[in-house]
Amino acid sequence: MAPPREELHPLFFLLSMSSGTTSGNILQLNARLNDPYRARRELLSGSKFFSGLPPALLNELVEASRLLELPANHTLYEASDPIREAHLLFNGSVKRSTTIPGGATKVIELVQSEQLLSLGELFGATHYASTCCCITQTLLVAIDIRKLREATEKHLELGMRIIAALARRQCAIEFDVTSHHYGLTGAQRLLDYLLESAGEKANLAGETTVVLKASKKVIAARIGMTPESFSRNLRELSDNGVLVVDGRKVHIQNAALLDTVGGDNRQRLNFCRKRKGNALDAETPLSAGALVNVCGRLRVLSQRMAIAWCMIVSAIAPHKALVKLNQQEKEFERNLARLEKLELAAEFAEKLVLIKALWPRYQYLMHGDQLSVQKIEDVFELSEKLLQATDALTGHAADLGELPAAHYVNMAGRNRMLSQRIGKFFLFREWPSLDEKIAALMPPSCLEFESNLQALGKTANIPPEVAAQLRVVASQWQKFIHTLCPDLSHAARTQHARLVMAEGERLLRGVDTTVKLFERLTK
């Protein structure tokens, strides 16, 4: 048996690092190691409320504080509890709620970033009026409220920081109240909540990602809607290209937040209330660009379903891929049914009939149990045939519009499809029987993507957000292409495939937003 390992003093590592280490550095490190308040000191000194305070004042607050690491569902404090400490959240998420007449619980705030909890109550009351519960595992620093109030009175800058935080909260409450009483739709309120959760101001293009740490039910209660309405409004925002939902992650598409129109007008996208009592329940007619986009969705879905199927049979995140495959099938059928309802020319209907003839066979192949080389080749070939059929339909839809802008929607949509087709090539090339064919198809697809991107960038009079989005896509495209080339950092096949698929999804979100922006220009 090996002898027990002796613990080495941390100074040993410092002394062994460099012969030039000074005694001053050693003493500084020793002081840090012997500081019983080290964790609290580092958290508070790095926080937006207490950074830059005089050392003596910071020391008083540190010594009057304690570190709390709490599990999910832990109640931090309840309504009517005396206020003895201020809680500064550093990690995790909490829910503040109150009981309204009738006994119902009203969620008044969800917090998942650094914040002093119940700030108004801390400085305006002696007892809590709200209850605070941890949604996830949470890290906080609790500071003696008397010391915090004294420090606020002594130090002007700290007082101003507290006032600024109170003012931001007051503005948010006023905006929230007006949104309920002056007709903002549920979709608008949900979008405002997501943007508020994102914190910093969104860029002109690209995306802002928000992680929904609370449950759908809790967030819906905070915004003042049912969970069903929450799901419906989330779907509306997604259908309008404003965001992409991926599990608990919501990717807000910054350029799509603006109501992209011709001219110099730039305003936030507005969601109008639907008129009630419409007996006919007629669907809004599709614009020329919207028709191209709907047809183009069939085109890109033909490739995305092949990717999902190949990930399942290749055991690359198979469970998630199966969920996506089922979702994509439903979306394909939903768009197909929508197009069938349109009264369009006979040639358009004929192209739709061809897609309907290919679709059952494609579905059957993807859900069969037995796997063989022949089946892999059949799925690949049928994905290419379905691509040709849907591409012909989309091209015809662009011609029907008789607008140059409709062809730009088709061109952007081609790039949306190509981003996925190239990903499909990457996955299917693992089978030797397809390697030669894919080697011939891959370069033209990459060249077309770049050619289309350049052509879209030369479009006359495009709004600034569209131009900015094209630059974002160009950057994402370069990352995607670089990821396709294997190197030592992702030598394992599965690891490499996951990385390529992740970059492909990011590129898809960017290109999909571009399609939506060009679609809006056709209205």
pLDDT of residue 226: 86
221 in a domain, yes or no?
Answer: yes
21 in a domain, yes or no?
Answer: no
Residue 184 or 74, more confident:
74
Distances in Å between the Cα of 8 and the Cα atoms of 12, 13, 16, 30 are 7, 8, 12, 14
Torsion of CA 310, 314, 316, 319, to 10 degrees: 70
Examine the domain organization and report whether 219 and 150 are in the same domain: no
Examine the domain organization and report whether 110 and 162 are in the same domain: yes
pLDDT of residue 368: 77
142: pLDDT strictly greater than 80 = yes
Max avg pLDDT among 167-171, 177-181, 271-275:
167-171
7 in a domain, yes or no?
Answer: no
Examine the domain organization and report whether 435 and 481 are in the same domain: yes
Max avg pLDDT among 71-75, 178-182, 340-344:
71-75
pLDDT of residue 441: 96
pLDDT of residue 141: 96
pLDDT of residue 6: 38
pLDDT of residue 491: 60
Examine the domain organization and report whether 386 and 509 are in the same domain: yes
> Residue 331 in contact with residue 294, Cβ under 8 Å?
no
18 in a domain, yes or no?
Answer: no
pLDDT band at 198 (very low <50, low <70, confident <90, very high): confident
pLDDT band at 4 (very low <50, low <70, confident <90, very high): very low
Examine the domain organization and report whether 372 and 506 are in the same domain: yes
pLDDT band at 177 (very low <50, low <70, confident <90, very high): low
58: pLDDT strictly greater than 90 = yes
Q: Which residue type, as a one-letter code, is found at position 313?
A: V
> Residue 296 in contact with residue 410, Cβ under 8 Å?
yes
Cα separation, 333 vs 337, in Å, equals: 6
Specify the 3-state DSSP secondary structure of 69. strand
pLDDT of residue 29: 45
337: pLDDT strictly greater than 90 = yes
3: pLDDT strictly greater than 50 = no
Q: Which of 50-54, 161-165, 223-227, 467-471 has the lowest mean pLDDT?
A: 223-227
pLDDT of residue 196: 82
Across 327-356, average pLDDT: 93
* Vertex 14 angle, CA 11 and 17, to 5°: 150
How many domains does one find in the chain? 3
pLDDT of residue 517: 94
pLDDT of residue 360: 96
Examine the domain organization and report whether 86 and 163 are in the same domain: yes
Q: Which of 185-194, 249-258, 423-432 has the lowest mean pLDDT?
A: 185-194
Cα separation, 314 vs 364, in Å, equals: 18
Burial group, residue 80, by CB count within 10 angstroms (0-12, 13-18, 19+)? exposed
What would the pLDDT profile of 68-97 be if each residue is shown by its tens digit? Answer: 999 999 999 999 999 999 999 999 999 999
500: pLDDT strictly greater than 60 = yes
> Residue 288 in contact with residue 522, Cβ under 8 Å?
yes
Residue 407 or 3, more confident:
407
CATH code for the domain of 225: 1.10.10.10
> Residue 305 in contact with residue 329, Cβ under 8 Å?
yes
pLDDT of residue 244: 93
pLDDT of residue 270: 66
Examine the domain organization and report whether 333 and 471 are in the same domain: yes
Any bridge partners for residue 77, and if so which? Answer: 132
26 in a domain, yes or no?
Answer: no
> Residue 248 in contact with residue 212, Cβ under 8 Å?
yes
pLDDT of residue 507: 97
Examine the domain organization and report whether 163 and 196 are in the same domain: no
> Running DSSP on this structure, what letter comes out for residue 271?
-
> Running DSSP on this structure, what letter comes out for residue 79?
T
Question: C-alpha 278: how far from its chain's center?
Answer: 35
Q: Which one, of 413, 423, 371, lies nearest residue 393 by Cα?
A: 413
Domain boundary among the residues 173, 193, 226 is at 173
Across 301-326, average pLDDT: 95
Strands of 243-246's sheet, edge to edge? 207-211, 249-253, 243-246
How close are the terminal C-alpha atoms of the chain, in Å?
Answer: 79
Q: How many CB atoms lie within 10 A of CB 448?
A: 15
Token pair for 40: 């609290």
pLDDT of residue 352: 95
Torsion of CA 483, 489, 495, 496, to 10 degrees: 30
41: pLDDT strictly greater than 80 = yes
1 in a domain, yes or no?
Answer: no
Examine the domain organization and report whether 225 and 350 are in the same domain: no
pLDDT band at 398 (very low <50, low <70, confident <90, very high): very high
Examine the domain organization and report whether 345 and 430 are in the same domain: yes
Q: Which of 235-244, 275-284, 330-339, 457-466 has the lowest mean pLDDT?
A: 275-284
Examine the domain organization and report whether 144 and 195 are in the same domain: no
| E-assigned strand segments in 164-265 | 207-211, 243-246, 249-253
Residues of the chain with pLDDT > 90, as a percent, come to: 63
45: pLDDT strictly greater than 70 = yes
353 in a domain, yes or no?
Answer: yes
pLDDT band at 461 (very low <50, low <70, confident <90, very high): confident
406: pLDDT strictly greater than 60 = yes
8 in a domain, yes or no?
Answer: no
Cα separation, 358 vs 365, in Å, equals: 11
Strands of 75-77's sheet, edge to edge? 75-77, 131-134, 94-99, 105-111
pLDDT of residue 271: 65
Cα separation, 91 vs 85, in Å, equals: 18
Average pLDDT of the chain to the nearest whole number = 86
CATH code for the domain of 38: 2.60.120.10
Examine the domain organization and report whether 76 and 206 are in the same domain: no
389: pLDDT strictly greater than 70 = yes
Structural domain harbouring 380: 288-520
Cα separation, 365 vs 379, in Å, equals: 7
